């Protein structure tokens, strides 16, 4: 057995021993969006620092635990807080929980994040359905030997964000009277916010939003054959489009729209 598979086995055995049963949907809850996990029923909570092969997340606003249970009638395993490349974790570590979700039986992943709006029609507080992504992190979590049992050497990214899931989310958004935006998420390594010049470049090459997460997890989800729904919260206009950027604004915006965000994810999940 490869080192990675052995680690996954040890991690999943531990998680199961804590009372986590069947998983259908994995959920990754981004900055300020972790509250959704509190609505999970019949919860089993597993702190990251107790899980073998899991690192500890270091960002303010990230609780750092797995929350298992029922949400919108589905068996979900939520990450309350994720791992970022800019924290110094390897890309393999950042994406390890996605491998674990797959090994626990998940067929789908819902990824969420806080990000900056590049599209001039976006406003802080908008929710954006992710239709595609640009990997601008400078690396890729699949670099290295490939284990064919986990996925193909050259995964197809044509439909990394599952089109049928996007249709469902759009319908739910319309029914809720929500002006759900849609667009391409471009992932940078961070931790600096982008420069105005980088944002002009991002817009020119087709990005609607920029952030420091999600891209690696979705690459591994595609490698693993997981269906993906991605929802971004536009917390600010990107660099050069507003006076300055700061984490406090990111937190304040997610705080303001978390009700709408939770509603959209729960109602969409019910229909998936």
Which residue numbers are catalytic? 31, 62, 84, 86-87, 114, 212-213, 236, 247
**Interacting stretch for ligand HPA, rule CB under 6 A, among 48-56, 150-158, 209-217, 254-262?**
209-217
Which single residue brings its beta carbon nearest to ligand HPA? 116
Q: Is residue 114 close enough to count as binding ligand HPA by CB under 6 A? A: yes
Q: Is residue 194 close enough to count as binding ligand HPA by CB under 6 A? A: yes
Q: Is residue 235 close enough to count as binding ligand HPA by CB under 6 A? A: yes
Q: Is residue 76 close enough to count as binding ligand HPA by CB under 6 A? A: no
Q: Is residue 245 close enough to count as binding ligand HPA by CB under 6 A? A: yes
Using CB under 6 A, which of 112, 166, 236, 254 touches ligand HPA?
236
For ligand HPA, give the closer residue by CB, 169 or 237.
237
Q: Is residue 211 close enough to count as binding ligand HPA by CB under 6 A? A: yes
For ligand HPA, give the closer residue by CB, 11 or 236.
236
Q: Is residue 212 close enough to count as binding ligand HPA by CB under 6 A? A: yes
Please list, in sequence order, all residues whose beta carbon lies within 8 angstroms of the beta carbon of residue 125, skipping any fewer than 6 positions away.
233, 234, 235, 253, 256, 257
Q: Is residue 33 close enough to count as binding ligand HPA by CB under 6 A? A: no
Q: Is residue 250 close enough to count as binding ligand HPA by CB under 6 A? A: yes
Number of chain residues interacting with ligand HPA (CB under 6 A): 13
For ligand HPA, give the closer residue by CB, 49 or 192.
192
Q: Which residues bind ligand HPA (CB under 6 A)?
A: 114-116, 193-194, 210-212, 235-236, 238, 245, 250
């Amino acid at each position: 057995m490869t080192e990675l598979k052995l680690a996954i086995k040890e991690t999943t055995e531990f998680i199961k021993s804590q009372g986590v049963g069947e998983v259908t949907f994995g959920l990754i809850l981004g900055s300020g969006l972790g509250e959704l996990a509190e609505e999970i029923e019949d919860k089993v909570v597993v702190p990251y620092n107790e899980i073998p092969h899991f690192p500890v997340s270091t960002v303010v606003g990230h609780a750092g635990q797995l929350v298992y249970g029922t949400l919108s009638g589905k068996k979900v395993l939520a990450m309350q807080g994720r791992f970022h490349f800019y924290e110094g974790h390897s890309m393999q570590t950042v994406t390890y929980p996605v491998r674990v979700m797959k090994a626990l039986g998940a067929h789908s992943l819902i990824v969420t994040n806080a990000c900056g709006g590049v599209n001039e029609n976006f406003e802080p507080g908008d929710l954006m359905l992710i239709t595609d992504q640009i990997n601008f992190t400078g690396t890729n979590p699949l670099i290295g030997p490939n284990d064919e049992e986990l996925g193909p050497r050259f995964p197809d990214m044509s439909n990394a964000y599952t089109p049928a899931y996007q249709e469902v989310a759009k319908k739910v958004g319309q029914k809720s009277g929500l002006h759900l935006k849609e667009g391409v998420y471009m992932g940078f390594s961070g931790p600096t916010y982008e420069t105005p010049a980088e944002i002009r470049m991002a817009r020119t090459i087709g990005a609607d939003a920029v952030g420091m997460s999600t891209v690696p997890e979705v690459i591994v989800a595609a490698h693993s054959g997981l269906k993906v729904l991605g929802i971004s919260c536009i917390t600010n206009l990107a660099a050069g489009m507003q006076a300055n950027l700061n984490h406090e604004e990111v937190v304040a915006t997610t705080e303001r729209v978390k009700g709408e965000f939770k509603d959209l994810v729960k109602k969409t999940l019910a229909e998936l």
